[in-house]
Structures are given as structure tokens and as C-alpha cells.
Amino acid sequence: MWHWLFLTVIFSPLLVLFVLRFYLRKTRWCTSKRRLDGRTAVITGSSGGTGKAIALDLAKRGCKVILACRNPIKAQAAVNEIRKLSSSSNVHFMKLDLASLRSVRYFVKEFESLEDRLDLLINNAGYLGPRSITEDGFERSLAVNYLGHFLLTNLLLPKLKASAPSRIINVSSDAFLKNSCTLDLEDPHYEKNPERYTYYGAYGRSKLAVMLFTAELAKTLDGTRVIPLSVHTGPVKSDLLRSWPGFGGFLLRLVAFLCFRSTTEGAQTPLHAALSDGMDDFTGCFIVDCQVHELPAHAKDKQMAQKLWAWSEAVCDIKVENGTATYA
């Protein structure tokens, strides 16, 4: 009896880990063989993790890839590695800090002076961690995950439209799927109620903003042959959990290491959205495991999407008309 009890205690957690790992790592793969010679892609947050894996795949297809990243040392190391693995010298780094609207504007200005076209914009960078306030007065997860990308995307629309057919891939998450996940534009930065801030709650709220932005962007770009899509990579062992402190953060990173998808596996759905034929019919949609995913009602709230867009224009000090952004 004690023998069987001992075996149960030892092997039950291992069995649970095995089943969890199998479930979380089950991946559909991008099957597109499309070449991208002569095309240009910008990928935010691509010095590591899923963004780096996406950049490597696109470079192997002949695409000119620009890594838009905050850390120059880490980004240049990624550039060197991708060049070596892809046998392509057409991989470059440009500095971009999405927590700073000033940095976003400077990036766009530099990009426009250097590049003639933009075929793919992959908004991948993300933040999940303790509450902090950016130089613009924004809560960091909302700034990095949504507002920085809102401004970046709208300022790059002229290049995307001139290079059409082109695509915008907004990397989201399933963190917004709970009906309890809502946007509060009266207190977007948790200034009135900082005690309500939770790492995953703020992250989910920023990703809900990404979903509503993608849907509204699809309306704005109707008829332009610029296709915006949002995607969920699935659980990936990347650097996203690096800012989660304490023992809880350690446990999450351990589970991620043991059970989550590799960065190559996590890159498959963004690559499918970026490369597959026939995506024009799904503009504004949410892609999960290389398939269109139905959204809950709160992620399809047209009135909230319009309010969010107007609020975002105001705080970013721009006005978007006919798919072109101007400074207000």
C-alpha cells in the first residue's frame, strides 16, 4: 500500500505536467510558402521571443526586416543572429520605445526618410508587470501594449497604403476574453483607484483595447487593401513574464519553461495572418491557432471602439481622417 502511495505522490504531478504541456503546446503551423523578396516588414519587440522568431522566418523568405526595439545592445545581437541563420544581410535595427510617444514619432520620421515602402507592420511588443507611469503620464501596460502601437500604426498608414496590398498584425492575447475585462476611460491609468491594478487585469484591459482598435482600424481602412488583423500566439515561453516579481513570478516562469510553446511555435499564428492568401475576407478579425476565432460581445462593442479611438486620438494628439493621421 505504501509503495503505491509513494508512486502516486511522485508520478501524479509529473502526469499533470505532461498533460498540461501537451495541451498548451499543441500548435497549428503556418503552411504558406510565400516569398517576400522586395518587401519590407517592421516588427516591434523583436529582439527576443516571438518577435525574433517571426523576424527570422520573414528574413528567410527574402523580406527586408526592421527590428523596432528599445534595447540597442540586445537588438543588435538579434540582428547579427538572424543575419547568420537566414543568410540575409537585409536585417536592421531601429530604436523604438513604445512607452514614449516622442520615441514613436521619431521612429516614424526616421523610417520615412530611409524606407520607400512598408508591406508588413507586426505590432508584437508587450509589457506585463507592476504598475508604473510613463513619461507621458500613461500606465505602462496600456502605453506599450496599445497606445504606442496606436500612434505608430496611424503614422505609418501612408507607407502601408502606398505599398498595398499590405497587412497590419496586432499581437493580442486571450487575457481579454473574460466578460469582467472592461475598459474604463474615466480612469485608464488607475490613478483614481490604484488598488484595483493587477498585473494580468491591466494586461487584459490593454489587449481588449488592441482588439477594439483592430476592428475600428478595419473600418477606417476599408477599400485601401491594407488588412489589419489581431492574433493570439498561445502561451509562449518568452520574456513577457520577466517583470512579474516574487515567488509567484518564479512559479509562472517555471511553468512557462516546462509547458509553454517555443518561440518558433508561438510565431506560427502571426506568420499565418501575415502570409496566407485569402485573408482579405477576414479584415479586422481575431486569429487563434491559424483559425478565425469568434469574439465575445464586449470585444465587439462598436460604441466602445469609437470612444476608445476618439480618446486615443486626443491623448496621442493626432487626428485620423481617410486613413491619414495628422497632428492635432
Active site members: 203
Q: Which of 108, 84, 83 is nearest to 94 (CA)?
A: 108
Cα–Cα separations (whole angstroms), residue 103 to 29, 94, 122, 261, 268: 35, 11, 18, 32, 29
Cα 87 to Cα 83: distance, rounded to the nearest angstrom: 6
Q: How many CA atoms lie within 13 A of 13 on its CB side?
A: 5
CB-CB neighbours of 220 under 10 Å: 17
Cα–Cα separations (whole angstroms), residue 233 to 19, 27, 70, 255: 20, 10, 22, 17
Element (H, E) at 305: helix 302-316
Find the length of the chain: 328
Burial 221-247 (b: 16+ CB within 10 A, else e): beebebbbbbbbbbbbbbbbbeebeee
C-alpha cell at 238: 518568452
Establish whether the linkage from the previous residue to 165 is cis, with ω within 30° of 0: yes
201 with 290: CB under 8 angstroms?
Answer: no
26 with 140: CB under 8 angstroms?
Answer: no
Element (H, E) at 66: strand 64-69
* Burial class of residue 219 (count of CB atoms within 10 Å of its CB; 0-12, 13-18, 19+): middle
